[in-house]
Amino acid sequence: MTSTSPAGLLRDPGSSNRSTLLELLFDVFYVATFAQLSMHLAGDLTWRGVGQNAILLLAAWWTWSVTSLATDFFDPRRRVIRGVIASTMFGVGLMTAAIPNAFGAQGLLFAGAYVGIHVVRGVLLIGALRGHLAQVRVERFLFWFVLSGVLWLAGGLVDPAWRAALWAGALVVDYVSAALRYPTPRLGRVPLDQYERLSSHFGERYQQITILIIGDLVLASTLKLSVAEFSTARVVVFLAAISAALLLWQIYVFRTDLFVARAVHKHPLRAVRLASYIYAVLVAGVIAMTAGVDLVLRHPFGTPRASWVALVVGGAALFVLGRVIFEYALLGRISRSRVGWLVLMIGVAPALTPLAPIFVVIASVGILLGITLTDAWRGRHDASDR
């Protein structure tokens, strides 16, 4: 079997599971994407703005997750797969550039880039597989992306007032078809055994993108502080943001290696089918918190606003919730301590609304610190978790 044969495109179970340098470069493109999304959210906190940002976020995240799934099934060292990754980078760059005005004049650019990413990937893979059984898998994916692509492109062409509805419908097609294993006329669904072709590469990819997501909080805070007038209050908020990033990292990595091992060896089907949905919650949480910190850095002692509290506290809560769901999905257990902290976050949020924004950020960091200390206690004393 040669590397240029269709079968040679499939990932060899005995090969290295480390991410390639091109995959890491692909992830770097998302640093700009996450930054754009957090700035876009901070710029429009109306219900309409939040809804629009959610659509853009889910589209960007789906592009990353589907590409990651492809590089776990196919060998990213092969020329064709490198071409798929490279072409996706161009599309992600265009999508990212279009985010600020995606619901304005750049709607067709955003939609065209999104559709182009998925269609080009499908065409390249189908041509390279040339009758191999895996070609049917790609055809299923392509069929559904073409269907949703009609809604994406239509949304880019119509009046912005109708765009959100069409794009939301397109996302429903994308996310639900994946959940149903891409049922396709004459081809059926993706066989369950194909979801069990999971390697530790899959877990590593999600760990890497999560670190970059958390890094957006550091990046955005640093850039905002560098252009703002320095003051003691802004420096305090900045240091609190750095602390929050470190604590989010600690909350995420707590026994993550154990979860990845369980995913690969015991629950590969569950991990592959749920990861994209669960991690969307974590991503949304960090972007919301980043947007909130951005606003607080502008006005540390500004007029208290419930929307700012919702971003900072709610963003942290979303991240922790995603991590709780992650643990439950792979281990079948609920972390009672983290659920207790989540309840505290929700309960304390209304009490934080009258306070100056700087104290909202500090309080959120305090709660995140409480979670990490509780985790440390669990790590030492709860032998049943090991």
> Residue 230: helix, strand or coil by DSSP?
coil
**Lowest-confidence region among 101-105, 148-152, 335-339:** 335-339
Q: Torsion over CA of 170, 175, 178 and 180, rounded to 10 degrees?
A: -100
Token duo for residue 297: 């850095």
Cα angle, residue 178 at apex, residues 172 and 181 outer, rounded to 5°: 135
pLDDT at 230 over 70: yes
Average pLDDT over residues 50-68: 96
Q: For residue 124, what pLDDT is reported?
A: 94
pLDDT band for position 9 (cuts 50, 70, 90): confident
Q: What would the DSSP string read from start to end of 112-176?
A: HHHHHHHHHHHHHHHHHHTT-THHHHHHHHHHHHHHHHHHHHHHHHS-HHHHHHHHHHHHHHHHH
What CA–CA distance (Å, rounded) separates 160 from 153?
12
Rounded CA-CA distance 229/99 in Å is 27
Tokens of 217: 């909080």
Average pLDDT over residues 162-169: 96
Mean pLDDT of the 155-173 span: 94
Q: pLDDT tens digits, residue range 109-151?
A: 999 999 999 999 999 999 988 878 888 999 999 999 999 999 9
**What pLDDT is recorded for position 7?**
62
Amino acid letter, 163: R
CA 138 to each of CA 75, 118, 207: distance values in angstroms, whole numbers, following the listed order: 15, 10, 26
Our measurement of the distance from residue 158's CA atom to the centroid of its chain's CA atoms, rounded to an integer in Å, reads 28
Residue 287 predicted with pLDDT over 90? yes
Contact 217, 289 (CB under 8 A): yes
Of 242, 235, 237, 234, the C-alpha closest to 214 is 242
**Residue 356 zone, left/alpha/beta (φ > 0; ψ -120 to 50; rest):** beta
pLDDT of 265: 62
Q: How many CA atoms lie within 13 A of 349 on its CB side?
A: 19
Cα(first)–Cα(last) distance of the chain, in Å? 42
* Sign of the CA dihedral with 59 first, then 276, 17, and 250 last: positive
Question: What integer is the mean pLDDT of 204-222?
Answer: 92
Tens-digit pLDDT profile for residues 67-80: 998 988 888 889 99
In the prediction, which pLDDT does 261 show?
65
pLDDT at 49: 95
Residue 45: phi and psi, rounded to 5, are: -100, 15
pTM: 0.92
If DSSP codes are grouped into helix, strand and coil, which group holds residue 49?
A: helix
Of how many residues is the chain composed? 386
Task: Quote the tokens at residue 73.
Answer: 């099934």
The residue among 203 and 76 whose pLDDT is bigger is: 76
Mean pLDDT of the 286-307 span: 94
| CB count in 10 Å sphere of residue 251 | 20
Q: Which residues contact residue 141 at a Cβ distance below 8 angstroms, ignoring those fewer than 6 apart?
A: 66, 118, 122, 182
pLDDT exceeds 70 at position 84: yes
The confidence band for 82, taking pLDDT boundaries of 50, 70 and 90, is: very high
In percent, the amount of the chain with pLDDT more than 90 equals 69
- Confidence band (pLDDT; 50, 70, 90) for 92? very high
Task: Cite the DSSP H helix spans in the chain.
Answer: 21-43, 47-73, 79-98, 107-129, 134-157, 160-179, 192-195, 200-227, 232-253, 256-265, 268-298, 306-331, 336-352, 357-381
> Is the pLDDT higher at 134 or at 54?
54
Domains in the chain with CATH codes: 8-195 (no CATH), 200-378 (1.20.1410)
pLDDT of residue 132: 81
- Give the CA-trace dihedral at 291, 297, 299, 304, to 10 degrees: 50
Q: How far apart are CA 360 and CA 304, in angstroms?
A: 9
Q: What is the mean pLDDT of residues 17-27?
A: 90
Specify whether the CB–CB gap between 327 and 333 falls below 8 A.
yes
DSSP string, 79-103: HHHHHHHHHHHHHHHHHHHHGGGTT
Give residue 1's pLDDT: 38
Q: Are 242 and 222 in contact (CB under 8 A)?
A: no
